[in-house]
Amino acid sequence: MSQFAINILFVGASFALYIGIAIWAKAGSTKDFYVAGGGVHPITNGMAIGADWMSAASFISMAGLIAAGGYANSTFLMGWTGGYVLLALLLAPYLRKFGKFTVPEFIGDRFYSRTARMVAVVCLIVASLTYVIGQMAGAGVAFSRFLEVDATTGLIIAAVVVFFYSVLGGMKGITYTQVAQYIVLIVAYTIPAVFISLELTGNPLPPLGLFSDHSASGEPLLAKLNEVVTALGFNAYTAMVDNQLNMVLFTLSLMIGTAGLPHVIMRFFTVPKVADARWSAGWALVFIGLLYLTAPAVASMARLNLMTTIYPDMAGQVENYDAAASNAIAYGDRPDWIRTWEETGLITFEDKNNDGNIQFYNDSTDFSDRGWQGNELTVNNDILVLANPEIANLPGWVIGLIAAGGLAAALSTAAGLLLAISSAISHDLIKGAINPNITERGELKAARISMSIAIVVATYLGANPPGFAAQVVALAFGIAAASLFPALMMGIFSKRVNNKGAIAGMLSGLTFTLVYIFVYKGWFFIPGTNNLADTPENWVLGISPLSIGAVGAIINFAVAYLVSKSSEEPPLEIQELVESVRYPKGAGGAVNH
Kindly report, residue by residue over 63-102, the tens digit of the pLDDT: 888 888 888 888 888 888 888 888 888 887 888 787 766 7
Q: Which residues neighbour 571 within 8 Å (Cβ) at sequence distance 6 or greater? A: 112
Torsion of CA 71, 72, 76, 77, to 10 degrees: 10
34-48, 53-67, 368-382, 562-576: which has the highest mean pLDDT? Answer: 562-576
By the 8 A CB rule, do 294 and 207 touch?
yes
Amino acid at 267: R
Residue 320 Ramachandran class (φ > 0 left, ψ -120 to 50 alpha, else beta):
beta
Q: What is the average pLDDT score of the chain?
A: 84
Half-sphere exposure of 9 (CA within 13 A, CB side): 12
Best-predicted range by mean pLDDT (12-21, 254-263, 330-339): 330-339
Domain boundaries, the chain: 8-294+387-476, 306-380
Q: Residue 484's closest CA among 115, 171, 126?
A: 126
The pLDDT value given to residue 115 = 94
- For 295-305, what is each residue's pLDDT tens digit? 999 999 989 99
Question: Is-above-0.85 flag for pTM?
Answer: no
On the 0-12 / 13-18 / 19+ scale of CB atoms within 10 A, 415 is: buried
Q: What is the mean pLDDT of residues 121-134?
A: 86
Averaged pLDDT for residues 248-257: 93
- Of 186-190, 265-269, 512-516, the range with the highest mean pLDDT is 512-516
Amino acid making up residue 206: P
Max Cα-Cα span within the chain: 78
Integer CA distances (angstroms), 369 to 263, 326, 331, 379, 533, in order:
54, 11, 21, 24, 31
Query: Sorting pLDDT into bands at 50, 70 and 90, what band is 414?
Result: confident
Distance of CA 149 to the CA centre of its chain: 24
112 three-state secondary structure? coil
pLDDT digits (tens, 9 = 90+) for 191-217: 889 989 999 999 999 999 999 999 999
Q: Which fold has domain 8-294+387-476?
A: Sodium/glucose cotransporter (1.20.1730)
3-state SS assignment for residue 347:
strand
48-57, 423-432, 489-498, range with the lowest pLDDT: 48-57
What is the Cα–Cα distance from 54 to 65, expressed in whole angstroms? 15
Q: What share of the chain is helix, strand, coil (3-state, %, to 5)?
A: 75, 0, 25
- How far apart CA 416 and CA 128 sit, in angstroms, is 9
In angstroms, the CA 304 to CA 296 distance is 12
pLDDT reported for residue 565: 95
How far, CA to CA in Å, does 299 sit from each of 28, 285, 295, 334, 394? Answer: 43, 21, 6, 22, 17
Q: Which one of 131-140, 250-259, 265-274 scores highest in mean pLDDT?
A: 250-259
**Residue 591, pLDDT above cutoff 60:** no
Query: What is the spatial distance between Cα 112 and Cα 500, in angstroms, rounded to a whole number?
Result: 10
Alpha-carbon gap, residue 132 to 416, rounded angstroms = 9
Look at residue 349 and give its three-state secondary structure. strand
- Percentage of the chain lying above the pLDDT 70 cut: 91
**Average pLDDT of span 410-420:** 75
In this structure, the dihedral spanned by the alpha carbons of residues 118, 123, 125 and 130, taken in order and rounded to 10 degrees, is 170
Query: What dihedral angle (degrees, nearest 10) is formed by the CA atoms of 35, 39, 43, 48?
Result: -20
Lowest mean pLDDT among 120-134, 222-236, 301-315, 561-575: 120-134
Q: What is the reported pLDDT for 593?
A: 46
At 493, the pLDDT band (50, 70, 90 cuts) reads very high
Return the closest-CA partner of residue 211 out of 220, 219, 203: 220
Cβ atoms of 209 and 297 within 8 Å: the answer is yes
DSSP 393: T
As a whole number of angstroms, the distance between CA 489 and CA 77 comes to 23
Q: Is the pLDDT of residue 16 over 50?
A: yes
Per-residue H/E/C for 14-45: HHHHHHHHHHHCCCCCHHHHHHHHHCCCHHHH
More confident residue, 481 or 24: 481
Can you give the pLDDT at residue 101? 64
Strands 347-349 and 377-379 turn out to be antiparallel
What is the rounded CA–CA span in Å between residue 75 and residue 127? 20
What burial class does residue 165 get, using C-beta atoms within 10 Å of its C-beta: 0-12 exposed, 13-18 middle, 19+ buried? buried
Mean pLDDT, to the nearest integer, of 103-130? 90
Q: Which of 255-264, 295-304, 348-357, 538-547 has the lowest mean pLDDT?
A: 255-264
Kind and range of the H or E run holding 573: helix 572-582
